[in-house]
Amino acid sequence: MPAGCPIVRFDHHSPEFADDLWEIYDGLREARVAYSETYGGFYVLSRYEDVYAAARDDETFSSDREVVLPATGVGRLIPLNADPPDLQRYRSALFPYFTQRAAEAMAPEIRRFTTTTIDAFIEAGRCDLITQLAAPVPAMTTLELMGLPPEDWAILAEPLHDLIAYPTDHPGHESARAGVWAIRERFAAEVAGRATEPRGDMLTHLLGLEGEGTLSRDEVVDLLMMVTIGGFDTTMAAIGSALLYLEQHPDERRRLVADPGLLPAAVDEFLRFEAPVQGFARTVTRDIEIGGCPIAAGETVFLLWGSANRDPDVFDRPDEMILDRQPNRHLTFGVGGHRCLGSHLARVEMRVVLAEALQRLGDYTILHGEVRWPQSVGILYGRAHIPATFTPDPAPRRLGDVVDR
């Protein structure tokens, strides 16, 4: 039994977590540090100050081992599973594709994907906001960025969605894991092809790095897997949560329609309010003490971004959505050396999709009785299905103009 540290029943893959996570977080923050005996045992950090400090200390809180609890069994994901100095090498390799300028340059292409996606169902007057909008646009954008066919998004997305949605003890997890390994094999073949027939894309760029930045083919495949997993599902979940909130709060929806200049701030508030990734694990490299709780080297610590984002010591009225909240120092993208490389791109994707949806699906009404959660929200916090109806309106778009500025 951990000395000086309360033991709690905390299982982020349980139905109770999906139903009551905000109340669970309130209790965890009161304790400051807690210990859960699930998944081999791990400590939980839930206050903003502690999560922030741990995330910035790569020497003490290592990412070299599994950062998802329990392990998904799909191989190493870099730079997520990397510590300095390799961490900087991997991030530098990807950096040119994920700057703010690069993300903004993708806005017209993202808008095109969004337009064609909505065109496919606009006349039906009904859609699933997740499977027909929030899922395809980020996935197609990610593949376009990598230099792979965007139309292949659904083939790749299915096993990735299932891997995240199913706990490791669910019958569907094994087939999902096999599907993800098949994606890895496809990427290995793509990398081999670029080695003999280079193109002007991300794969060719990664293979062509020289000197200290040189990457092996296996490392390139690992990077591509991380870009795909991060690019497909997290933004999907965030878009779905935002669309659900706006439907439940019509005054806020009308406010965004009337003043689309609020979209950038609103996107960050959506990300704070319901972080698509609620937390990641770290491994402690030396004996430490936090809040009077000793933690030995080798122990696992879970950093709860989602709880830190609701910490009343940092955020005024943390359980309220304030569209123009400033400042907004949320930790949804992490902080420090492992801060999400795709944060700029995710923001642009959300701006584009929300702008187009508010214009073209302006009166959308969600069928709340048909909204479905995945089997687990322990890795990705977001709905699996959000069916909605709307009055078809294929008119020219106006709100979308804000995303190209």
What type of residue sits at position 241?
Answer: S
pLDDT per position as a tens digit, 24-62:
999 999 999 999 999 999 999 999 999 999 999 999 999
Which pLDDT does position 75 carry in this prediction? 81
- pTM (2 d.p.): 0.95
Count how many Cα atoms sit within 13 Å of the Cα of residue 220 in the half-sphere of its side chain: 26
In order along its 405 residues, the chain shows pLDDT tens digits of: 577 799 999 999 999 999 999 999 999 999 999 999 999 999 999 999 999 999 999 999 999 988 999 988 888 889 999 999 999 999 999 999 999 999 999 999 999 999 999 999 999 999 999 999 999 999 999 999 999 999 999 999 999 999 999 988 888 999 999 999 999 999 999 999 999 999 999 999 999 999 999 999 999 999 999 999 999 999 999 999 999 999 999 999 999 999 999 999 999 999 999 999 999 999 999 999 999 999 999 999 999 999 999 999 999 999 999 999 999 999 999 999 999 999 999 999 999 999 999 999 999 999 999 999 999 999 999 999 999 999 987 654 545 444 444
Distance CA 368, CA 249 (A): 14
pLDDT per position as a tens digit, 96-112:
999 999 999 999 999 99
Q: How many CB atoms lie within 10 A of CB 382?
A: 26
Instruction: Please list, in sequence order, all residues whose beta carbon lies within 8 angstroms of the beta carbon of residue 369, skipping any fewer than 6 positions away.
Output: none
Which pLDDT does position 402 carry in this prediction? 45
DSSP 35: E
| Domains parsed from the chain with CATH numbers | 7-404 (1.10.630.10)
DSSP 385: B
Residue 45: phi and psi, rounded to 5, are -105, 130
DSSP 376: -
Run of H or E including 179: helix 171-196
Q: Is 157 helix (H, G, I), strand (E, B) or coil?
A: helix
Inter-axis angle of helices 217-248 and 171-196, to 10 degrees?
A: 130
- Specify the residue for token string 């990397």: 82
